[in-house]
A and B are shown apart, each in its own frame.
Chain A
Amino acid sequence: MTRALYNAARTGLAEILAHKTRSTLSFLAIAAGSVVFIDAFSAIVATYARLESQKEVSGMARMKISQNNSRSVADVDDYQPPPVITYDDVLRLKERVPGLYMVSPEGTNWRNVLEYDGQRVLTRVAGITPEWRKRDFVYDLKGRFIDWHDVDQKLRVCVLVRPAPPEPSNAFFKTMRQKYNYMGGYDMLVTHNDLLGRVIKIDGINFTVIGVLDELPPSRKPPRIWWSGGDYKALAPVTTLMHYGVLRSHNSLDVSIDAGDEKGFDEAMRLVRNFLKVRFGDEDFFVVENQMDAIKESMSRNISSSLVTISLGMLAFIAGGIGIMNVTLATVFARTKEIGVRRAIGAGRGDIMLQFIVEAVMLGLIGGLLGTALGWFWGVPAKVMLGMPPSPIKVWMPLVSVFIAALTAFVFAIYPAWVAAGLKPAEALRAE
């Protein structure tokens, strides 16, 4: 059998070399399948990496309490300002719903003024607790972060966020950044001054900068499919901001919650809702966003887009397979006399089938190898040159891709090979 395979491979190679154009077209058809397949595989791997990183960095069992901004009021003259969530409410919530991994209050009034060395710039300060860094903490920290002592003692300390250098991007995005970056002055200030340990003023109150959070450049940011962080520029203890009036009494705190694990999520959500009902009554002053559903939905969107790519790869392979079938059938008809000669001198049907199948599988293998090379070229150097993230091509991907290419060729060669083997020797010999 090995000898027969070897002989069939030799004949196949000679045949492939004798018909270079025909063979090249067959390779290309299969190679196209390989390229798409490798791209699809690496897209799926990237998706799963994003999912894993998502779970690790952001957690899955997330929910968020925030004010309901779309409540309808029967009579505008009867309008009463809605109740607010205070820091005490957050502490009570932690007490009533124990076992939550993270309960992170965030308070902001969106526009603050930061003063340093005579410069006044717009900024956005968020009042937080140390819980904040449990999730979505994708920064390099210089100095230290806000701790419970700062919160309990309402200390005037803050942590500033320093933006990563902007990515090279197209002219449109540059214009948009120019047009909408209200905090451009802040970005310049923190980029060009080392403020760690310095005293700055926020809305006229002195704060000591105890830490600087450097945003990670895009290349180092863990990939995520969902993002819940607010675009804050400075962080300070929530208690301090409330005590010094940076946050006013009408500013309600948002509360980001991580229930810890997916199993306990529904129960945690029920308890949180229950807490709000007991505290604020039946009216829907607050909404509890089920962020786990949002995360899961983005995950399934990501996976289904990868599946679409995979099915495109499969289609490309099928097209390549049909190409190989066509070429092999043409070869069978062009070589009918040769088949007759081989049969006359003693080749069995199996020998003839083997010959055509091996020849097609060789076309598939060469096409698969070519496609793998092209797939790698497209996935790594080409994408990098085009400014896209390189595809995470694993060692097994080329192997699987070449295997599938060969398997496709094998499957699609069966029919033509069967036709060849079924030719009657005497009739085949008479063929012109």
Chain B
Amino acid sequence: MILCRGLEKIYEGGKSGWPALRGVSFSIEPGEFVAVTGPSGCGKSTLLNILGLLDEPSGGAYELGGLDASRMSDGERSRARLHRIGFVFQAFHLLNRLSALENVCLPMMYAGETSDGMRRRAHELLARVGLKGKERKTPLELSGGERQRVAIARALANSPKLLLADEPTGNLDSASSREIMDILFELGRGGMTVIMVTHDRELAARAGRDIRMRDGKIEAHRGGDK
């Protein structure tokens, strides 16, 4: 599903730039649940942005589902994000002006789904993450855990094969974290490929595989095909 070879990312700044990734290589098979761990600034989020086609590597190769990401146009990358990738962010990144239901509808709107179709699916997804009855509430009226559930429902809207979660429990209390992780593991068990960036060693231990990073490199691997 995912193949990275010698991924590099250098951010502009200073004389020679600031390297965030220095030759990261790994592959991930469909259906794997992978945790990416490491201290702050080790390049986890940068890696996730590249895997999610939100950013481009400065060097190396990245293949998603057999397609070379470096050859994809901006439109192809957008379409891949729309149909094949779901994102869950630490800060939720919901649109506060919209209701929970409308937030979940957004990706389907860009996919050209009919109004009835997307509302029906959004209701289903919100019920699935335990937010039945809260569809009309705006993110500001929901708790942190509820917001993250809306974000998960939104990520699942167009039935992607890959879910990328960047510290999904970073802003949550332990009870909410547990609930969110239960949903993510459930998705993983359902056959979805999940890549989750986390600080939490305990959570990483529950993942099928753990890629530990330090200073832009992979420090250690646990489980799976390296």
Residues on A facing B (Cβ under 8 Å): 3-4, 7, 14, 18, 337-338, 340-351, 424-426, 429
Question: In the complex, what's the smallest C-beta–C-beta distance from B121 to chain A, in angstroms?
Answer: 14
Q: Please judge, given known A-B contacts A4-B112, A351-B110, whether A344 and B81 are in contact too, CB under 8 Å.
A: yes
C-alpha spacing A207/B131, complex, angstroms = 104
In the assembled complex, which residues on chain A have CB atoms less than 8 Å from the CB atom of B55? 424-426
Given A14-B97, A426-B55, also A346-B112 (CB < 8 A):
no
CB distance from B79 to the nearest CB of A (A): 7
Closest to A349 in B: B74
Chain A nearest CB: distance from B65 CB in Å? 16
- In the complex, the answer to whether A344 meets B54 with C-beta atoms within 8 Å is yes
Q: Which residue of B lies closest to A8 (CB)?
A: B109
Residues of B within 8 A of A (CB): 49, 52, 54-55, 74-75, 78-79, 81-83, 87, 89, 93-95, 97, 106-107, 109-112, 114-115, 154-155, 157-158
**Which single member of A7, A18, A338, A429 contacts B54 (CB below 8 Å)?**
A429
Output the residue of B95, B107, B157 with the most chain A CB within 10 A. Answer: B95
Nearest B residue to A3 by beta-carbon distance?
B112
Q: Collect the chain B residues with CB atoms within 8 Å of residue A429's CB.
A: 54, 89, 93
With known contacts A425-B55, A426-B55, A346–B81 Cβ distance under 8 A: yes
Contact present for A344 and B87 (CB under 8 Å)? yes
Report yes or no: B52 in contact with A344, Cβ–Cβ below 8 A. yes
- Closest chain B CB from A94 CB (angstroms): 81
Specify which of A14, A344, A346, A347 is in contact with B158 (CB 8 Å cutoff).
Answer: A346
In angstroms, Cα B134 to Cα A430, docked, is 28
The answer for the CA separation of A204 and B87 in the assembled complex, in Å, is 108
Which of B97, B109, B115 has the most chain A CB within a 10 Å cutoff? Answer: B109
Other A-B contacts than A3-B109, A340-B93, 5 sampled, CB-CB below 8 A, are A341-B93, A344-B54, A345-B81, A346-B111, A429-B54
Residue ID in chain B nearest A422 by CB atoms: B74
| A20 vs chain B, min Cβ distance (A) | 14
Q: How many Å lie between the Cα of A337 and that of B97 in the bound state?
A: 13
* Complex interface: chain A residues within 8 A of B110 (CB): 342, 345-348, 351
Distance from B81 Cβ to chain A, minimum over Cβ atoms (Å): 5
The 6 A-B pairs at the shortest CB distance, nearest first, are namely: A346-B82, A348-B78, A426-B55, A426-B54, A425-B54, A426-B49
Closest chain A residue to B86 by CB distance?
A: A345
For A351, the chain B residues whose CB sits under 8 A away are 78, 110
Which A residue's beta carbon lies closest to that of B155?
Answer: A345
A350–B158 alpha-carbon span in the complex (Å): 19
Query: With a CB–CB cut-off of 8 A, which chain A residues contact B82?
Result: 345-348
A289 nearest CB across to chain B (Å): 72
**Shortest Cβ gap from B101 to chain A (Å):** 14
Q: With both chains docked as a complex, state the minimum distance between the C-beta of B128 and any C-beta of chain A, in angstroms.
A: 18
> Which residues on A sit within 8 Å (CB–CB) of B79?
346, 348
Q: Which residues of B contact A425 (CB under 8 A)?
A: 54-55
25 A-B pairs with CB atoms under 8 Å apart are: A7-B109, A337-B93, A341-B93, A341-B95, A342-B106, A343-B78, A344-B52, A344-B87, A345-B82, A345-B106, A345-B154, A346-B83, A346-B107, A347-B78, A348-B78, A348-B79, A348-B82, A348-B110, A349-B74, A350-B75, A426-B49, A426-B54, A429-B54, A429-B89, A429-B93
CB distance from A190 to the nearest CB of B (A): 75
Cα–Cα distance between A348 and B82 once the two chains are bound (Å):
9
Shortest beta-carbon distance, A352 to chain B, in Å?
A: 10
Docked pose: A343 CA to B74 CA in angstroms = 11
Judging by beta carbons under 8 Å apart, are A338 and B95 in contact? Answer: yes
